[in-house]
């Protein structure tokens, strides 16, 4: 299978698992972060939960992009979701 004694921390674990899964961990980990944060933030409203989860996930994706784990389309997709959440927040403020 291989020698995994050089994995020294969480980032090393992410890099090695991403390498072994052909890049799927790089996408699955931010998705899991987004789902968990959205579930936590839903108590404050759907729009705020989307913005909160997308913003924190954008930070995770920036780190993963620096580590060459994700491609730019993943960051763009999350950015579109973040923009949609901000737009929904603005519409909620205007209505209420």
Q: Tell me whether residue 10 is in a domain.
A: no
Q: Residue 37 in contact with residue 53, Cβ under 8 Å?
A: yes
Q: Cβ neighbours of residue 78 under 8 Å, at least 6 residues apart?
A: 30, 34, 54, 57, 58, 61
Whether 54 is in a domain gets the answer yes
Asked if residue 15 belongs to a domain, the reply is no
Is 66 a domain residue?
yes
- Host domain of residue 76: 45-96
CB 60 within 8 A of CB 33: yes
pTM of the model: 0.82
Q: Residue 18's pLDDT band (boundaries 50, 70, 90)?
A: confident
90 is a domain residue: yes
In a domain, 84, yes or no: yes
Question: Is residue 26, in this structure, part of any structural domain at all?
Answer: no
Domains held by the chain: number: 1
Looking at the domain assignment, is residue 39 inside a domain? no
pLDDT one-digit tens code per residue, 65-89: 998 888 899 999 999 999 999 999 9
With 90 as the cut, is the pLDDT of residue 39 above it? yes
Q: Are 48 and 76 in contact (CB under 8 A)?
A: no
């Amino acid at each position: 299978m291989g020698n995994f004694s050089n994995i020294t921390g969480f980032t090393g674990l992410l890099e090695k698992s991403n390498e072994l899964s052909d890049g799927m961990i790089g996408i699955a980990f931010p998705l899991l972060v987004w789902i968990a944060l959205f579930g936590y933030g839903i108590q404050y409203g759907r729009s705020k939960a989307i913005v909160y989860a997308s913003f924190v996930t954008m930070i995770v994706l920036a780190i993963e992009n620096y580590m060459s784990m994700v491609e730019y389309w993943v960051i763009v997709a999350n950015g579109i979701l973040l923009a949609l959440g901000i737009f929904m927040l603005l519409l909620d403020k205007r209505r209420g």
